[in-house]
Structure 1
Amino acid sequence: MTAAATGWVPVVCAAAAAALALPVRPALRRPAAAAAAPSVGWLHRHRLVWSLLAGIGAVVFVQGRAGPAAGMVAGIVCWVAIGRAEPADVRRRRDAVRRDLPHVVELFGATLRAGSAPAEGIALVCAALPGAAGDRLSGVASRLALGLDPVDVWSSLADDPQLARLGRTLSRAHATGAPVVASVERLAGDLARAARTETEERARAVGVKAALPLGLCLLPAFVLIGIVPLVVALLATLEL
């Protein structure tokens, strides 16, 4: 690659480093929208910079006439891959909803057992257990408080991966006239068992994943203590 072609690479890299170092000014939004919108991670925030760096790296690596084409392909692939990656904030909120949901449903069942109406009970739960699950259910509580059809309100949760079971259970109970308390308590038991099973599976997975690093750590000691003395003794025997 010629000097003219490579001269701009340090300049672009320096500009990219400066762009990554500059603080990002938050956009001015209304308080409600700011609370509802998840924050964008640094990977998505600097999506263009990473794509440019990937393209530059491909150009420098490939060189020749195929360098620009390789850089364009690498930049596009990096742009698409980052766009499809799930932001860390979204993943954390999803995990928080899945972790809090058994407690939310259990407390909701307790309020229903105490005689509260579903609209009042879900509002009490959202106030008592603030968090990711409570934030998502606060809209349901507001719509129920306005007197909307409970079947339609609970059915609106069908598109939520974490709250779909709760929505289906409540909408089916209201549509068929089944006891709401029994349905909610049964769902709370199912969610609690699923949470315990998931915790046990994660604990077992930790042991399996830790086996390889521990084995690699013990391998040098095994070689030095078990194999090296045998090899030295064998060589000494052969020399004799």
Structure 2
Amino acid sequence: MIGPAELTDWGLAAVLAGLAGWLVTPTGELGRVRPARLPELPGWAVPVPGASPMRVRALAGLATASAMAALTPGPGWLILFGAALLGVAVMVAAGRLESGGSRRWRLQRAAAMPDILTLLAGALEVGTPLRAAVERVIEFGDDPCTRDLRELAFRVSAGIPDEQAWRILAATPGWSEVARDVARAVSSGEGIVALLETHAEELRTVAAEQAEKKARKAGVSATIPLICCHLPAFILIGVVPIVAGTIFKAL
């Protein structure tokens, strides 16, 4: 006869299996066209830009909770409560870390965006409509910005209005200001060419300032190795022989 503990274990296993199945199920093409609106999270649970996707973080928390539930002896309800707390803690902690791939993607996007905006502005300046200009820009490139614009073109071709598609793109790190301004210009009829050129110039200025700061930081960082290596060498080669020679002469 199955006791209460066994029933709790079977119930926990069923819940965890169901959650795992939902997490590993692909989102499908609809998720690419119109991302789902998730409920607002409290400030402490909001992930940083570039954190792992929600499904990945939830799967990590689920795996941790499952491991705790399987390895920890004790009452079933207490194990379930502790495993749930640990799983939520792991999921929140994973959301506070930017993944290495996301960081590389962000840097590549920032490096390519000024040129992409300039190309898009050039296509618009010769009279090409916005949709056609986007399609021309994304024909040959394979950088993060081009892939972002491919997602934009996919949404527009699926029937989403241009303004809404650009507002969806604004949720992508690095595109927030540009995409919002383009969406506003599409709805109001403002000139997009000057807007894109202004953003491209601002991004180049920011990139130059960051490169200058990085160069200055490298110079300051090089001071510590110089002190740690050259100063002892100077003392051993220049000071110690003089002091030793003076002592030997005195003796």
Which residue in the other structure is 1:120 paired with?
132
1:183-210 alpha-carbon deviations (Å, 9 max, x no partner): 1111111112112222222222222222
Q: How far off its partner does 1:234 sit?
A: 4.2
TM-score, L = length of structure 2: 0.59
Query: The residue matched to 2:139 in structure 1 has which SS?
Result: helix
Q: How far off its partner does 1:128 sit?
A: 2.8
- Aligned residues between the structures: 177
Query: The residue matched to 2:147 in structure 1 has which SS?
Result: helix
**Cα distance change of structure 1 residues 185 and 147 upon mapping to structure 2, 3 Å threshold:** farther
Q: How far off its partner does 1:146 sit?
A: 4.3
Which residue in the other structure is 2:122 paired with?
110
Q: Mapping of 1:17-166 within 5 angstroms?
A: 83=94, 84-166=96-178
Query: The residue matched to 2:127 in structure 1 has which SS?
Result: coil
Q: Residue type matched to 1:217 in 2? A: C
Q: How far off its partner does 1:31 sit?
A: 11
Q: How far off its partner does 1:81 sit?
A: 9.7
Query: The residue matched to 2:222 in structure 1 has which SS?
Result: helix
1:37-73 alpha-carbon deviations (Å, 9 max, x no partner): x9x9xxx9xx89xx9xxxxxxxxxxxxxxxxxxxxxx
Q: Residue type matched to 1:131 in 2? A: D
Which residue in the other structure is 2:7 paired with?
none
Question: Distance in 2 between the 1:106 and 1:188 partners?
Answer: 6
Query: Percent same amino acid at aligned positions?
Result: 27
CA RMSD between the two structures: 3.4
Which residue in the other structure is 1:200 paired with?
212
Question: Distance in 2 between the 1:201 and 1:218 partners?
Answer: 25
Which residue in the other structure is 1:19 paired with?
none
Which of 165, 179, 198 is equivalent to 2:191?
A: 179
Q: How far off its partner does 1:223 sit?
A: 1.2
Q: How far off its partner does 1:104 sit?
A: 0.9
**Cα distance change of structure 1 residues 183 and 147 upon mapping to structure 2, 3 Å threshold:** farther
Question: Distance in 1 between the 2:108 and 2:118 partners?
Answer: 16
Counting helix residues as a fraction of each chain, which structure ranks higher? 1
Q: Is the 8 A contact 1:104 1:129 kept in 2?
A: no
Gap runs ≥5 in structure 1? 1-26, 33-37, 52-74
Question: Distance in 2 between the 1:233 and 1:82 partners?
Answer: 62
Q: Is the 8 A contact 2:117 2:196 kept in 1?
A: yes
Q: How far off its partner does 1:122 sit?
A: 1.4
Which residue in the other structure is 1:64 paired with?
none
Question: Distance in 1 between the 2:137 and 2:226 partners?
Answer: 45
Q: How far off its partner does 1:219 sit?
A: 2.2
Q: How far off its partner does 1:30 sit?
A: 10
TM-score, L = length of structure 1: 0.62
Question: Distance in 2 between the 1:155 and 1:80 partners?
Answer: 28
**Cα distance change of structure 1 residues 141 and 204 upon mapping to structure 2, 3 Å threshold:** same
